[in-house]
Structure 1
């Protein structure tokens, strides 16, 4: 099971809109292996395009073995993030067939890919949390909508984010909103972290007032939903040579 498979417990085309959006968000960050007509020549590649009743589609899988297994033979391929592949195909008016025959099978036409590309262009709404008139506990609706997607996104940010808190925020003249407040983020990574969270929010139903993103080392308000990323995986231990192993030669 791949991360895409795990999100597709309900098949993509039978899932509700929030679930489909989360699958597309994961697809954007997944390395895909796209079938080529022939081996690349320099930087030039030509995708295999299949004429289907629904239109013209490229083929890609999230594992090399899946791609070769579907075609039934070794195949030339290019590996690139889903967001890059989606952008190239949307520009040409073509669709994308992903992981045929697996739980995460997706058939995405050019319109869906265009929507995906547009969502990925979302800019974060930044806020200085110290300027808020009041911070408090998030609404139950916000927790139900964001808790699980935020935990999954933080799983991709191990080592970059110390903690994240979802809070309600009240700004002068701007009414009630919500905010994501992050701790323990190196200033050099703040823009990338904010962009990744803004992309996640773009794939989810909008909360009334919207959600701002801020960085602060201050205390969280009572009732804040606090999420921590999992610890980084331990570094692999160096291989140990047996006492009877032959010497290494230079």
Structure 2
């Protein structure tokens, strides 16, 4: 099971819109192996295009073994992030077939790829530097919508974000919305982390007022949704030899 398979417990084309959006978000960050016509002689690769009734599509899998199995043998391929492949195909009006025969099989036409590319261009809405007029617990529907996707994105950024909190905010200009407040982030990584969170939010239904992202230290209200990355896996204990076992001879 790959991360894409795990998200596709319900087939992509039967899933509700929020689930489909999460799958597309994961696809954008997944390394895909796209079939080529032949081994490229230089740095220019020609994708193998299949003419289907709904239009021309490229073929890609999230493992080179899956690609070879589907095509029945060794195949020339290029490995690149899903976001890069989607942008290249959308610009040419072509679609993409992903992981045929697996739980995460996706058939994405050029219009869907163009939507994906547009979502990936989302820019973060940053929380004001000044203190909010008030912070309170997030709305239950915001928690239901964001808790699981945020936990997954936080796991993706392990080592970069020590803690993240979701709160409801009222700002001094009268705005009311939600805010993601991050603690302990290296300033050198703030822009990239804010962009990654903005992309995630772009794939989810919009909350009233939107969601701001802030890195300034703030006192969290009671009831804030606090997310922390999972602890690193513990190192396996070294194998211990049975003292009653016979000696090993070389």
Q: TM-score, normalised by structure 2?
A: 0.92
Residue 150 of structure 1 pairs with residue 150 of structure 2? yes
In the comparison of the two structures, how many residue pairs are matched? 241
Cα distance in 1, alignment partners of residues 192 and 198 from structure 2 = 10
For residues 231-250 of structure 1, give each alpha carbon's deviation from its aligned partner in whole angstroms, at most 9, with x where no partner exists. Answer: 3456899xxxxx999xxxxx
For residues 90-138 of structure 1, give each alpha carbon's deviation from its aligned partner in whole angstroms, at most 9, with x where no partner exists. Answer: 0000000000000000000000000000000000000136431111100
For residues 1-50 of structure 1, give each alpha carbon's deviation from its aligned partner in whole angstroms, at most 9, with x where no partner exists. Answer: 00000000000000010000000000000000000001122210000000
Where does residue 19 of structure 2 map in the other structure? 19
Flag structure 1 segments of 5+ consecutive residues without an equivalent. 238-242, 246-250
Q: CA RMSD in A?
A: 1.8
CA drift at 1:220: 1.5
Runs of 4+ off more than 2 Å: 128-131, 172-175, 216-219, 231-237
CA drift at 1:230: 1.6
Residue 170 of structure 1 pairs with residue 170 of structure 2? yes
- CA change 1:134–1:34 in 2 (3 A) is same
Flag structure 2 segments of 5+ consecutive residues without an equivalent. 238-247
Q: Where does 1:43-82 land on structure 2 (aligned, <5 Å)? A: 43-82=43-82
For residues 193-246 of structure 1, give each alpha carbon's deviation from its aligned partner in whole angstroms, at most 9, with x where no partner exists. Answer: 000000000000000010000013333211100001123456899xxxxx999x
In 1, are the aligned partners of 2:131 and 2:218 still within 8 Å (CA)?
no
CA drift at 1:184: 1.4
**SS in structure 2 opposite 1:131?**
coil
Cα distance in 1, alignment partners of residues 138 and 195 from structure 2 = 22
Where does residue 208 of structure 2 map in the other structure? 208
Q: TM-score, normalised by structure 1?
A: 0.92
In 1, are the aligned partners of 2:175 and 2:209 still within 8 Å (CA)?
yes
CA drift at 1:171: 1.1
In 2, are the aligned partners of 1:151 and 1:229 still within 8 Å (CA)?
yes
Cα distance in 1, alignment partners of residues 174 and 89 from structure 2 = 40
